[in-house]
Copies of this chain bind each other. A is one copy, B any other.
Amino acid sequence: MKEGPDISQIGALIGDPARANMLTALMGGQALTATELAGVAGITLQTASSHLSKLETGGLIAQRKQGRHRYFALADDAVGLMLENIMGFAANRGHMRTRPGPKDPALRKARVCYNHLAGDFGVRMLDRLVGDGDVTLDGGDAALTPSGETRIAAIGIDLAALKAQRRPVCRTCLDWSERRSHLAGSLGEALLALFIADGWAKREKDSRAIRFTAEGERRFMALFP
């Protein structure tokens, strides 16, 4: 026995409630300071610092120093994909944090998944792109077809800039609430950023929820009917 990767180290990192809360908060996509993360986990700064260093050596998060602040964020997309995957399983087995709160429907409708759009809206968008032949799927990978490139460029995304990066442009990510995939990768990130920059939607304070304005929702539905 003793073959293959060791999942217990990753599991142990996620297994502590304080660390799990921090990771869930970081799934919101914004980099947070140690003090903020201590707040969401409900622990003191010292304890949080200890947790954060463990998460960092485990490769789950990365920090960026900026002045006297240290901003922590998920290490990369892969962490977000894995966490969303586990969330899907947990939701499936009834491992919910508490009773479903009032924010639950909003989360299921539209939320941030690390850096891209998830929930009903996110799934709908990918469904439409695939259905129209603009995106092809190949396992966890995805790719834009020529017609898709035209469509995305028409929306106002600078595709050349995305392709210049090393990370994949298109990826799929399993949605925990819809149990279907939505669009991740640098394109997924750019699309969400565009929706927010154009005022179609904005992030709720201290939550992963995304709220579309009436006008924004109308335009979104027009783009992905």
Contacts and interface: CB of A to CB of B under 8 A. Distances in A.
A172 to B, nearest CB: 6
A104 interface: yes
Contacts of A7: 14, 20, 23-24, 83, 86-87, 90, 95
A85 interface: yes
Nearest to A175: B139
Interface in A58-117: 58-59, 78-79, 82-83, 85-98, 101, 103-104, 107
B181 A139 contact: yes
A141 B9 CA distance: 29
Contact of A5 (B9, B59, B96): B96
Contacts of A87: 4-5, 7
Contact of A16 (B12, B19, B107): B12
Interface residues of A, number: 68
Given A20-B11, A138-B137, A139-B181, A6 B130 contact: no
Nearest to A101: B3
A180 B140 contact: yes
Contact of A97 (B5, B16, B94): B5
A121 interface: no
Contacts of A58: 93, 95
A101 B2 CA distance: 9
A208 interface: yes
Interface in A98-156: 98, 101, 103-104, 107, 123, 126-127, 130, 137-141
A166 B98 CA distance: 30
A50 interface: no
A9 B137 contact: no
A2 B98 contact: yes
Top 8 nearest A-B pairs by Cβ distance?
A: A139-B181, A11-B14, A12-B15, A8-B20, A11-B15, A15-B15, A5-B90, A59-B93
Given A14-B14, A59-B94, A139-B172, 19 more contacts: A1-B21, A1-B24, A5-B176, A7-B14, A7-B90, A8-B15, A9-B95, A10-B14, A11-B14, A11-B16, A11-B86, A12-B15, A58-B95, A82-B86, A82-B89, A85-B85, A126-B139, A130-B138, A141-B180
